[in-house]
A and B are shown apart, each in its own frame.
Chain A
């Protein structure tokens, strides 16, 4: 056993000396390899963490939201619909929600204006989200002026701010009183934006949703599970597309690795020829090549993995923020909770290390079966 260990350590020593002799070439391979792992790892960590975080945050979202559809678009829903829904067996509560959008030409941002059903602000007062406060540099006591449906400006005083911790869901929120909301938008009395339904038995949510759709055919019930799955699909396909785009980089990297492994220089060939001439076996040369691949893969993968973790969870994925933001003016500032597991690392491993190994295994074997006589004669 000691002999086997010593032999392998000697081969490892030789491999390291050989790698260090070609520093430039191997460092460039290490840099490219690390970058590929870093990019793929960052995309995977970010999308997975956002999915898990969305699921945790939305676990207490309304069980069912009922919208009214008119001409394929959602329309204000009559309040008497909530009475009809409440009459369905198994429904615990059904109440109207009032919310809408307001485009602020001052900063070019869209706000979500909302009337909370409990603890609504007093008339002419508003409570603003942290994103609004930051963008407008506004705080308690400042006045916001909104242009109403009739062209008149209405002034609202900031009575408070929503907690910055909740920015991920409330960055663009502005809470106001019901009368102010209806007055600003000309929202007809007796109508609401949608209806929120809670159900006594969570197992019956789908059944109740179906009953609502049957009872009120012009409505569309959206269950909580669908809300969470919407985010699953948003991040799945966004992450998927990033991975597809990065596949090009991965392919380029595989070609680079293949080229590096197959394009042996005259020096390298002579080195292998001399080794075999002095008694090294083909298996020893294969071991050298295997150690080379193992060392490069291990250090590049670890470095890329750690860099991706730092990028996403310490620096809030700052390289991806422009893509995530799109055209949004208001963007929440938040730190992502590190939801990572071995499965993600394994997927990353199969996406990077396995292609690299496959690309280098045949050239390595070819190098190992070089005929020493012909190499030294050439």
Chain B
């Protein structure tokens, strides 16, 4: 009875890793995954370049000026071509009422460029 309670010495070392070892292994895996993230981004960019080139070719062939991201209104569909002076809409500088629009204006440099050209 008592002998059952006494741990038998089998001569084999029991493997019980220290918590710090586990934490360091996990940290290593974390660093590795972040490294893999950068590597994946790099390879994916290389792989996507031909596709982006094909899109750029469509832009060149059809003489497009904007991305078809926000098709809800004409000044969000073609923000670079929108009117300059219409109140409340039609230009990136103007206030917006569509959800696509935003609160702040573009950088001052952009406004200056418009002013000088227009």
CB contacts (< 8 Å) of A54 on chain B: these are: 67
Interface members, chain B 51-70 (any A CB < 8 Å): 51-52, 54-70
Interface members, chain B 1-32 (any A CB < 8 Å): 18-20, 22-23, 26-27, 30-31
Contact B98 A326 (CB under 8 A): yes
Residue among B64, B79, B99 with the most chain A CB within 10 A? B64
Contact B114 A226 (CB under 8 A): yes
Contact B72 A234 (CB under 8 A): no
Contact A61 B41 (CB under 8 A): no
Contact B23 A328 (CB under 8 A): no
- Chain B residue with minimal CB distance to A327? B72
CB contacts (< 8 Å) of B116 on chain A: these are: 210
Contact B102 A165 (CB under 8 A): no
Which of the candidate stretches A26-34, A136-144, A236-244 sits at the interface with the other chain? A236-244
Contact count band on A:
35 or more
Residue among A97, A196, A234, A298 with the most chain B CB within 10 A? A234
* A119–B62 CA distance with the chains assembled, in angstroms: 10
CB contacts (< 8 Å) of B74 on chain A: these are: 101, 110
* A155–B104 CA distance with the chains assembled, in angstroms: 43
Interface members, chain A 3-55 (any B CB < 8 Å): 9-10, 12-13, 16-17, 20, 53-54
CB contacts (< 8 Å) of A240 on chain B: these are: 104
Instruction: Say what secondary structure dominates the interface of chain B.
Output: helix
Number of interface residues of B (CB under 8 A): 68
* A365–B58 CA distance with the chains assembled, in angstroms: 61
* A241–B23 CA distance with the chains assembled, in angstroms: 37
Contact B37 A309 (CB under 8 A): yes
CB contacts (< 8 Å) of B40 on chain A: these are: 338
CB contacts (< 8 Å) of B54 on chain A: these are: 163, 165-166
Given A110-B77, A116-B61, A221-B117, A332 and B69 contact (CB-CB distance below 8 Å):
yes
**B40–chain A nearest beta-carbon distance, Å:** 7
Which of the candidate stretches A84-92, A168-176, A263-271, A274-282 sits at the interface with the other chain? A168-176
**A112–chain B nearest beta-carbon distance, Å:** 6
Given A116-B61, A220-B84, A223-B117, A57 and B56 contact (CB-CB distance below 8 Å):
yes
